[in-house]
Amino acid sequence: MATLTVEQVTKSFGKVAVLHGIDLAVSDGEMIVIVGASGCGKSTLLRIVAGLETATGGRVVISGTDVTRLEPSDRDIAMVFQNYALYPHMSVFENMSYGLRIRGLPKPEIARRVGQAADLLGLGALLQRRPRELSGGQRQRVAMGRAIVREPKLFLFDEPLSNLDAKLRVAMRAEIKRLQRRLGVTSLFVTHDQVEAMTLGDRLVVMNQGRAAQVATPMEIFARPADTYVAGFIGSPAMNLMPATLLEGGLDARIADGPVIRFADGPRPGVAGRSLTLGIRPEHFALGGPLPMTPDLVEPLGSETVLHGRLPSGQEVTLRLAGPPPGHGVIDLGIRPEHLHVFDGETGLRIEPVPAASLTPAWQAG
């Protein structure tokens, strides 16, 4: 197996910088998912690890060996591409065994590896078919099988599910997760789909404009996003982000043109008037409260209902409720303070409460 370390990796195309000092340490057998919007640099980072792009600065280290300047063939990695990259004139067996044949492995060893991978992926009955005779999901399995037979140190997945329909994506997502667990191969998986990221990754790297905005477990990122970009990107529907102002003492904030909200976990640092952004996920609103929302779009989804609307200030908000949609008209919302996220209004960075030990008791003040 393998470990992977990315140290201060930068990448520029001419005068355009696309990666700004990425640091990442991947443990043996870990599945890391790199997620972010189009153009954030996630595929460029993967291609640098693969050796398909050359880093402008920094190092890539696999199992203690600096591979930054090595050719892809010398890195002992296998990559699964978005478009599968299968040879159309070759059978499934020939596609899966091609890399082994190029390396000159004995035919019995090739047959053993391909047979094991085919059994693992349910391809045993398809080994003599051509890619054009396969479904999208079957082609994806062949591409994965071709990677597996190489027995590499590192798996790299470049948006491998993006060409599949929604139902098949769910099935293949679960299959990749089970397969990676069974093989225990260190893996990097790139996607723009945050549902894929949350379900597949042991840890996520959330990319934003060439920087790693946050590296943490999926649930840690969901529960404690590092900034407003991560807060708005992870979670579906996205977190509601509302401008607010810190009040005297740091225990409360006033929503713009709205009510005062008291923090449940203690005061925030700063002087009165500090600009804040308050975050609340659509499922964490309470019904009955000081925020009147006028719905303008209702999405009934069976087990739940998603409503999009506006507050009197014009602020757009999204609400998720269990069950069928409520009646027509204005819906009064309340904010559950225990689910509130607080960010700096200027930098967007998360603001943690002031530690209790640092607070000066009132009788000592002055």
Return the CATH fold of 4-231.
Answer: Rossmann fold (3.40.50)
Q: What angle do CA 18, 19, 25 make, to 5 degrees?
A: 155
For the whole model, what pTM was predicted?
A: 0.89
For each of the chain's 366 residues, which pLDDT tens digit applies?
A: 689 999 999 999 999 999 999 999 999 999 999 999 988 999 999 999 999 999 999 999 999 999 999 999 899 999 888 888 889 999 999 999 998 999 899 999 999 999 999 988 889 999 999 999 998 888 988 998 998 998 899 999 998 888 788 888 888 888 888 888 888 899 999 999 989 999 999 999 999 999 999 999 999 999 999 999 999 999 989 999 999 999 999 999 999 888 999 999 999 999 999 999 999 999 999 988 899 999 999 998 888 999 999 999 899 999 999 888 777 789 999 999 999 999 999 999 999 999 865 555 444 444
**Burial class (CB within 10 angstroms; exposed 0-12, middle 13-18, buried 19+) of 149:** buried
- Residues near 55 by beta carbon (within 8 Å), at least 6 away in sequence: 9, 10, 11, 19, 48, 68
pLDDT of residue 136: 85
Residue 319 structure tokens: 């609400």
Cα dist. 231→125, 225, 256 in Å? 46, 5, 20
pLDDT at 161: 86
Give SS3 for 218. Answer: helix
pLDDT for the residue 358: 54
Q: CA 214, CA 194: separation in Å to the nearest integer?
A: 14
* Cα–Cα dist 172/129, whole Å: 21
CATH 3.40.50.300 residue spans of the chain: 4-231
Q: What are phi and psi of 360, to 5 degrees?
A: -90, 120
Choose among 350, 318, 352, 353: nearest CA to 333.
318
At 326, phi and psi to the nearest 5? -75, 180
Report the residue count for the chain.
366
Q: How far is CA 153 from CA 9, 270, 328, in A?
A: 21, 49, 58
The residues near 278 (Cβ < 8 Å, ≥ 6 apart) are: 241, 242, 243, 244, 253, 255, 261, 335, 340, 341, 342, 343
- Kindly list the distances between the CA atom of residue 294 and the CA atoms of 150, 236, 284, 317, 327, in Å, as whole numbers in the listed order: 57, 21, 18, 9, 12
Q: Which CATH number fits domain 239-354: 2.40.50.140, 3.40.50.300, 3.40.190.10, 3.30.70.2740?
A: 2.40.50.140
Domain with CATH 2.40.50.140 in the chain: 239-354
pLDDT at res. 3 = 94
How is residue 240 written in tokens? 């509601």
Distances in Å between the Cα of 196 and the Cα atoms of 114, 166, 174 are 28, 11, 10
Amino acid at 16: V
pLDDT of residue 81: 84
Backbone φ and ψ of 98, nearest 5°: -55, -50
pLDDT of residue 244: 96
Residue type, 71: E
